[in-house]
Amino acid sequence: MEIPPAYLERICAIFPSLVIASTHFNQDGFVNDVVIINDQLVARFPRDAHAREALAMESRVLALVREMVILPVPHYEYEAEDLVIYRMIAGEPFTRAVFFGQNEVIQDHLAEQLALFVSQLHAIPAEEVEQRMIGASEAERSLEEWAALFDDVQRELFPYMLISNRALSTEGRSKEILARMNY
């Protein structure tokens, strides 16, 4: 899909000396359209009012997290209601395949880094979160809300899924997972 000209015009207006050698357009997300420029800059355009609110919240979260953890966290070089731009963090996505593709020594090192990152996140004082006006996660839901969401997924998405993938998400399995989450 072609990048909307208004997106590129907006980016060039913000960075007039930017020479664009390559672009990648990603509309796969639910919230933002993403333009990656020269494999270095990420420009995210929120799709609606909810997305703009989420982006503002993300900005507050990242600012706080950046102060509290040792791993790199995105820093917005440009931020407006309808656009954020930041530099890509060097590396590759940390997927299951990447992790298990490493030898045991590297896996141990990665696990230690991840554990440190998570412990640093959990050590952020609640008062700091409140002072930054960071609300509860949208993922925070009751058992009834999760069950209703799962029903919606079964009704709306299962018809498009492979049968083998549907089997991984059967009702019995979902109840087992919810039980392990102390619901």
- Please indicate, yes or no, whether residues 119 and 159 belong to a single structural domain of this protein: no
Which pLDDT value is given to residue 115? 94
pTM comes to: 0.73
- Please indicate, yes or no, whether residues 86 and 2 belong to a single structural domain of this protein: yes
- Please indicate, yes or no, whether residues 131 and 147 belong to a single structural domain of this protein: no
Burial-class residue 97 by CB neighbours within 10 Å (0-12, 13-18, 19+).
exposed
State which residues form the domain around 16. 1-136
- Please indicate, yes or no, whether residues 58 and 148 belong to a single structural domain of this protein: no
Which pLDDT value is given to residue 81? 93
Which pLDDT value is given to residue 65? 96
CATH number at residue 23: 3.30.200.20
Instruction: Provide the percentage of residues in the chain whose pLDDT is more than 90.
Output: 64
Burial-class residue 83 by CB neighbours within 10 Å (0-12, 13-18, 19+).
buried
Which pLDDT value is given to residue 36? 96
Q: Among residues 28, 114, 32, 111, which one has the least CA distance to residue 70? A: 114
Kindly tell me if the per-residue pLDDT of 171 is higher than 70.
no
d(CA 61, CA 170): 34
- Please indicate, yes or no, whether residues 122 and 155 belong to a single structural domain of this protein: no
Which pLDDT value is given to residue 152? 87
Which pLDDT value is given to residue 176? 60
- Backbone φ, ψ for residue 165 (5° rounding): -75, -35
Which pLDDT value is given to residue 175? 56
DSSP H stretches of helix in the chain: 5-14, 49-68, 96-100, 104-122, 126-131, 143-156, 163-167, 171-180
1-33 pLDDT, tens per residue?
A: 799 999 999 999 999 999 999 999 999 888 999
Number of domains present in the structure of the chain: 2
